[in-house]
Amino acid sequence: MNMELPRGVQDILPEDIPYWQLVENTARKLFESYNYEEIRTPIFEYTELFRKGTGETTDIVMKEMYTFTDKKGRSLTLRPEGTPGVIRAFLTNKIYNQKPVWKVYYIGPMFRYERPQAGRYRQFHQLGIEVLGRKDPYIDFEVIKLAVDLLKNLKLENLEVEINSLGCIKCRPNYREALISYFRKYEDQLSPIDKERLERNPLRLLDSKDEKLIALKDQAPQPIDYLCDECKIHFEKVQKYLSLDNIKYKLNPKLVRGLDYYTRTVFEITTTTLGSQNAVVGGGRYDNLVETYGGPSIPGLGFALGIERLIILLKQQNHISLPYIPLIFITLSEDYVETGIKLANILRTKYRVDIGSPQENLRTQLKWADKLGSFIVIFLTEEIEKNKLKIKNFKTGEEKYTDLNFNTILEDIETML
């Protein structure tokens, strides 16, 4: 039997959970203060959903999906990203008939068959938001601000916000033409996959990972030079609001993002301390995605943040304080089981409490307490008969006999910590 972990996946062990909880709780609190509600969509969906939304010519759909056939021959895929499922839920549940604007956030695992390395996994977790039903530039600003504020609330440094605009269905065709005629000149240098992309979706050439394309990409026409007036004004407003709120950003005309559905604003937050996997957040506007899925014409936008990468950064920067609640160990003896249970009930209102086994002797129980990392030990021994309880702090050596009075025990322990 193979007990190895499949490549690219990992256990999240209890020692790391405080980081996960910190990130999730900070995100929940922030998003809810901006009136976003949580949504939980399925881990797998019909493959078609990602083909159509994420895009046929993207790396994700061409190479990275975990796709399988179920017992009835239907093609299903483990979600490689969160947005398509959220849009599907919006349509399936006809939310557009109920709410003028839908603001949601999600937290959960995603799956991509990528080459694993530090900061890149096959199962990873994203935390993201989506807004459906607003086309104004204020909301582009709000979405970028939420990503920035989340990282700020987690006290992360060395981050850079990059933004760009990809234009809309009106101005995109002109840009597409310009890209095609530019890359046609170098067609013989393109890999078969990139040749196919040139025909079907030339924008994807700009995030191709092919080495030979790097120099070519540098000289390629940029979407920002082809924006129509409306897209220009929209993008200027987004930048104005960012500046008003003192959010530093860099205009990166080469930023295109790896998913097909983006229109107008796209953005990424990168860090200088993660090596090659330096993107922490990616997002943007997708004004035609709902329609692509056969729904009404409703604009949308959002971002996704990689939790694993964020936690690597939190550990590197190492100045957050994780909550620590001391562990109190109660040794148990068969004669005083009832007292032990009642005492633990009270202490658990404030502390983590673990109880030894009445079948083990005191020495063994003390060894356990030490191994479990508990330094406050409460002894349930014959002193109980005299209404006394021994408490010892093994770090300081301090010992105390307190009255067996459930009202004052909490206070007595407090003084010993």
By beta carbon distance, the residue nearest ligand AMP is 306
Taking the complex as a whole, the smallest distance from the CB of residue 294 to ligand AMP amounts, in Å, to 23
Instruction: Name the nearest CA neighbour of 391 among 354, 416, 372.
Output: 416
Non-local CB neighbours of 58 within 8 Å, separated by 6+ positions: 204, 258, 259, 260
162 binding ligand AMP? (CB under 6 A): no
257 known ligand binder: yes
Taking the complex as a whole, the smallest distance from the CB of residue 286 to ligand AMP amounts, in Å, to 12
197 known ligand binder: no
User: Considering only 120-128, 137-145, 182-190, 214-222, which stretch makes contact with ligand AMP by CB under 6 A?
Assistant: 120-128
Tell how strand 279-285 and strand 300-306 pair up.
antiparallel
Binding ligand AMP (rule: CB under 6 A), the pick from 120, 232, 237, 390 is 120
Neighbours of 72 (CB within 10 A): 5
Binding ligand AMP (rule: CB under 6 A), the pick from 26, 126, 333, 402 is 126
What does the per-residue mask of binding to ligand AMP show for 266-305, with x meaning CB under 6 A? -------------xxxx---------------------x-
398 known ligand binder: no
Site for ligand AMP in 99-118 (CB under 6 A): 112, 114
Q: Is 212 left (phi over 0), alpha (psi -120 to 50) or beta?
A: alpha
83 known ligand binder: yes
Taking the complex as a whole, the smallest distance from the CB of residue 325 to ligand AMP amounts, in Å, to 30
How far lies 415's CA from each of 31, 239, 412, in Å?
A: 39, 54, 5
Instruction: Name the nearest CA neighbour of 131 among 92, 165, 101.
Output: 101
Taking the complex as a whole, the smallest distance from the CB of residue 157 to ligand AMP amounts, in Å, to 17
352 known ligand binder: no
Binding ligand AMP (rule: CB under 6 A), the pick from 90, 121, 175, 261 is 121
* C-alpha 401 chain-centroid distance: 49
Taking the complex as a whole, the smallest distance from the CB of residue 25 to ligand AMP amounts, in Å, to 19
| 64 vs 412, beta carbon nearer ligand AMP | 64
130 known ligand binder: yes
81 known ligand binder: yes
How far lies 350's CA from each of 356, 368, 409, in Å?
A: 19, 21, 12
| Residue 360 to residue 347: CA distance in whole angstroms | 22
16 binding ligand AMP? (CB under 6 A): no
Binding ligand AMP (rule: CB under 6 A), the pick from 309, 313, 347, 392 is 309
Which residue's entry shows tokens 């979600």?
79
How far lies 360's CA from each of 190, 334, 381, in Å?
A: 72, 10, 13
CA torsion 204→206→212→215, rounded to 10°? 170
Tell me which amino acid residue 86 is: V
Residues that bind ligand AMP (CB under 6 A): 81, 112, 114, 120-121, 124, 126, 258, 279-282, 304, 306, 308-309
